[in-house]
Amino acid sequence: MDLVSLPQMMIARPIVAGTVTGAILGDIPTGLKLGLMFELLQYDILPVGAVRYPEYGPATVAAVATAHAAAGVLGLGLGALVGLVTALVGGFTINELRRLNSRIIHAASTTLESGDPRALMRLHVGGVLRDALRAALVTAFGLFLAWLARPLLAGPLSARDAIVLATAAVASALAAGAAGTFRLVGKGPNLGWFAAGLGGGLLVAVWLR
């Protein structure tokens, strides 16, 4: 809900949602790991105009709930998969909610043109409540997926399969993060700063090995 409606304070930002979910489950490291992964995916999105985008906040909650059931890499890949599906569904519901809001507001256009402040407030609060319900349903859907996925951790998904899945998830998050940043940076003078940052980050990463 924080993503669009209220209060846009970045509570639903993946790195925050993941950490809070991890804290609730008593597993902050898993929350941080998946939060960081989905935060990189979030870089791919620039929410300008009426652009459509996936919803990574509830996705991260579902991912952490899935990954919490298994330690290390095993939960990471499956958690990411559950989160990605939840993000897709979340994005779809945002679009559908906006269409529904459009129909409701179009039907009330005569009342709105009369300048009735109560009608205006009623329509607006209705939108906020519908988004709250939508966000709750998306999160519940993600948690349901997490519950469905848990048996896979104990059965058909081997440790190697889980590593392959986690590798794909991490690689796509890094690619999305880099591509999204590249789009923001452009080909102007900031490109040099981006390159300098990448170089510095690489040096630190190598130094820490």
Partner 1 sequence: MAAVKGVGLGRALLRLFAVQGSYNYERLLGLGVGVAEEPLLRDLADGRYRPAVARGAHFFNAHPYLIGLAVGAAARAEHDGAPPDQIERLREALCGPLGSLGDRLVWAGWLPFLSGLTLVAVALGAGWVAVATFLIVYNIGHVALRWWALHAGWTHGIRVSTALHHPVLHRATALLGPAMAFGVGVALPLAARFLAAPFPRWGQLAAVITAGVAFLLLRWRGDRLSGLRVALGLAAVALVVGWIWP
Q: Considering only residues 116-175, where is the footprint of partner 1 by CB under 8 A?
A: 116-117, 120-121, 123-128, 131, 157-158, 160-161, 163-175
Q: Does 177 bind partner 1 (CB under 8 A)?
A: yes
* Site of tokens 């599906």: 85
Q: Does 187 bind partner 1 (CB under 8 A)?
A: no
Task: Report in angstroms how near the CB of residue 129 gets to partner 1 at its nearest.
Answer: 9
Q: Is the Cβ–Cβ distance between 75 and 67 less than 8 Å? A: yes
Q: Does 25 bind partner 1 (CB under 8 A)?
A: no
**Contact pattern for partner 1 over residues 38 through 67, marking x by CB under 8 A:** -xxxxxxxxxxxx---x-------------
What does the block give as tokens for 52? 């459509």
CB neighbours of residue 53 within 10 Å:
17
Task: Report in angstroms how near the CB of residue 97 gets to partner 1 at its nearest.
Answer: 8
Among 60-68, 134-142, 143-151, 185-193, which window interacts with partner 1 (CB under 8 A)? Answer: 185-193
Task: Report in angstroms how near the CB of residue 107 gets to partner 1 at its nearest.
Answer: 10
Task: Report in angstroms how near the CB of residue 151 gets to partner 1 at its nearest.
Answer: 16
Judged by CB under 8 A, the residue of 92, 137, 141, 180 near partner 1 is 180
* Site of tokens 């009342």: 111
In degrees and rounded to multiples of 5, residue 30 shows phi and psi of -65, -40
Element (H, E) at 96: helix 73-107
Give the residue among 39, 2, 18 at the shortest CA–CA distance from 173. 39
Judged by CB under 8 A, the residue of 12, 15, 63, 69 near partner 1 is 15
Task: Report in angstroms how near the CB of residue 122 gets to partner 1 at its nearest.
Answer: 10
Closer Cβ to partner 1, 117 or 155, answer by number: 117
Can you say whether the dihedral through the CA atoms of 154, 157, 159, 165 is positive or negative?
negative
Q: How far apart are CA 79 and CA 70, in angstroms?
A: 10
Task: Report in angstroms how near the CB of residue 27 gets to partner 1 at its nearest.
Answer: 12
Among 60-68, 100-108, 138-146, which window interacts with partner 1 (CB under 8 A)? Answer: 100-108
In degrees and rounded to multiples of 5, residue 95 shows phi and psi of -65, -45
Judged by CB under 8 A, the residue of 26, 114, 155, 187 near partner 1 is 114
What does the block give as tokens for 101? 């809001």
Which residues lie closer than 8 Å to 105 by C-beta, 6 or more apart? 112, 123
